[in-house]
Each structure stands twice: as C-alpha cells, then as structure tokens.
Chain A
Amino acid sequence: MTRIVVTEYISVDGVVEAPSGTEPFERVGWIDHFTRGPEGDRFKFDETMASDALLFGRRTYDGFAPVWPHVEGEFAERFNSLPKYVVSSTLKDPEWNNTTVLRGDVVEEVTRLKERHQGDIVVHGSPQLAQTLIEHDLVDELRLMVYPVIVGAGKRLFADTTSVKTLRLAETATFGDGVHVLIYRPVTG
C-alpha cells in the first residue's frame, strides 16, 4: 500500500525548523545537543531504506539538494538515488539526481503520486507542505522524533486546521538522551 509518511525532528514546543545543518536560523542545530543513540540511528537508516520516494517542500529541498550529493555511505546513496519530488511553482532544472518538480495543485499532485508509487513516500521537514497534507487528510503516518528541548522560536509543524483530526498512537520508543519516537496514524471512518 502506498503511504504518505511525514517524518520530523520536533521539539517539545513543536518547532521543526533547522534541527541540524547550516540553515540561516539563529537556533539551528538544536538536536545536536543530544544523542539519539545507535537505535535512533538505526531507526532513521531503516526509514530511508524502506522509502520508495521522497517528497519535499521547496525550502527543505533547497537545503538538502546542495548537501546530500556530496555525502557518502549507504544511507546517502539510497537517499540520493530515490525518486524525489519537490512542490514548487518556480523551481526550474533541479540539480539533485532524480528530482521531479510538482507545479500543480498540491493535493491533486500528491494524490496522483500515490497512484504512481507502491511503498512509502516520505516527507522530511517541509513544515508548510506537511501542514497542507495534514489539512487535507493526506498523511497516512506521522513519525515524530521528539527531542527534549524547548526551542522557543522557529517554524512549528502544526498550524491551524479547519477540523479536529483524531489519531491513533501506533508505536513509541525512547532512544539515547530521552529522544522520544512517536508514530501516529489517522483514525479513519
């Protein structure tokens, strides 16, 4: 079954902006204060090995595209070779290998994508896109790696929605320095 999986590094106060890396955010790297341990690494590794495609918002894509092609190792190889989709009305000639730009209506484009793929289409970061997918009930699984920190500023994952969305807590685990993995699925019907 094809699923849209949204996977996020998130703080206790719901911030998802620039958890690590070099983005121009004053508090960039707030997950770097903690270790998620070998099980946490394994979780992220398995996630990417099991992905069938990656779906990005424009900003997260722009953050990843210049970096990942230069990373080596099994994880990066997989990440770089997977089909990538980026939602953007302006991006032309994307340079990252195997990227397709989705220019149309997000909901229609994503619905079509789900017909094209067999496994998990995984969204990393991309809060604005994630909010649109949540609003339109297009998220089949929400994976939160909750770091024990109040970031205090920055983009949050959750925005206003037009209705209440009831979820089911499918799995939990705690890794490393109190890094909490929560897996939610929508309650349907």
Chain B
Amino acid sequence: MRKVIVNEFVSLDGVSQAPGGADEDPSGGFGHGGWHMRYMEDELARRWAVGSIVEAGGFLLGRRTYEIFAAYWPHASEEEQVIAQPLNTKPKHVASTTRVDPLDWRNSTVLRGDVGEAVAALKADDGGDLHVIGSTELVRSLIEHDLVDEFRLMIDPVMLGGGKRIFREDGLLRPLRLVDCQTTSSGALLATYAPNA
C-alpha cells in the first residue's frame, strides 16, 4: 500500500498560504506571500524538504498548486535541478473540477471522479509513496476521507495573522502520533505526525 504523505510549510498560527513567493496565491487579499523562504536558509530544513521530493513515487496536487508548479519547475535553474528533476519527471495526479487531460506539464493527469475514491485507488496501486505539497483544499479533503498516512509539517516561528489553513473548523476529532520532531537553526520545527488509529 502506498502512503499518502502531506508536506506543508505552516506558520505557528496554522497558515499554509503562499509560502514560496509573493505571486504564488494572493487570493483573499493575502499580502505575506513568500513568508517561508527565510526559514529555508538552513541545511536541515533544505535536506528535509528535498528528501520528500526525492523519495516520492509520485505527487498529489491541487489545481492551484499544480498550476503554480507547472509554470515554474520546467524552467528551473541549474542549481534547482535536485528538486526540479524529480518534480518534472515523476507522475503528478491533479485534483481539479475544471481542468481536463491532457495537462501540459510532463507526466501529469487529472484525477477522475470523486477525489476520495480516486486517491484510494491510487494508494492500492504500486509506485512508491504519494506526496502532497501545499494544496490546502486537497489536503482538507484527504483528511476528511482519512487518506493521509503522514503529516510532515515545517512549522515556522511566525504568526501571519490570517490566510488559508489546512485544518478545517468542522472536522472530526482525530488522534495522532508524534513520529519525529527536529528543530532547525532558524527556529522552525520539522514535525512528523501519523494517524493513531
């Protein structure tokens, strides 16, 4: 069984919107895009983030994250190839109600039908673990369907004061297990949780 592993950059107040850049997702008037980048100036954080991408068998992406990635990673610089190469070549499964195949980014396909069922079917296939990056709305839906096997949260020491969150305010109570936790030199936490079924 392939695991679904959710990778998120989160502020202490739980916001995951636009960690990487100002133009990434300004929806809702979010003005702090790129807040996360200063915390990546750390060897441990870099290895942690790159590790997930390198070890992934494939990626599960929401439509917004897909579009941001598809516009960026095919044109990434030479020194970004350690991330760009696996992202560009490994299979990407995209949750979208508006996009249809064929998608332009190499090896990308739209998940057909109900997201829960489609991801459950993917998990039963071969092909290594499925990593989710960003994709806040998709993550909410995966949590709701109990499809997440691991949360890898990099929690930055900053309160953004508003923005998109991965945890809904009307979900079920779900006990977890703290699998691992490390601290970076920039004061971020690298916390791994798994469901405690």
Contact = CB atoms under 8 A, between A and B. Distances in A.
The dominant DSSP class at the A interface is: loop
A55 to B, nearest CB: 20
B158 interface: yes
Interface in A103-127: none
Contacts of B168: 152
A182 interface: yes
Interface string A22-52: 0000010010011000000000000000000
Interface stretch (A79-87, A94-102, A155-163): A155-163
B27 interface: no
B13 interface: yes
Nearest to A171: B183
Contacts of A67: none
Contacts of A165: 158-159, 161
Contacts of A13: 14, 167, 171
Interface stretch (B41-49, B56-64, B100-108, B189-197): B189-197
Interface stretch (B77-85, B127-135, B173-181): B173-181
A178 B193 CA distance: 9
Nearest to B187: A169
A14 B173 contact: no
19 contacts: A12-B193, A27-B173, A148-B196, A149-B174, A149-B176, A150-B172, A152-B172, A152-B173, A152-B174, A153-B170, A153-B171, A157-B13, A158-B12, A158-B13, A164-B160, A165-B158, A174-B181, A178-B178, A179-B178
Given A157-B13, A169-B188, 10 more contacts: A12-B167, A149-B176, A150-B173, A150-B176, A153-B169, A153-B173, A164-B32, A164-B35, A164-B158, A169-B157
Interface of B: 12-14, 32, 35, 143, 151, 153, 157-162, 167-178, 181, 183, 187-189, 191, 193, 196
Interface of A: 12-14, 27, 30, 33-34, 134, 148-153, 156-158, 160-169, 172, 174, 177-180, 182, 184
Top-7 shortest CB links A-B: A178-B178, A161-B161, A158-B13, A13-B167, A152-B171, A169-B187, A148-B176
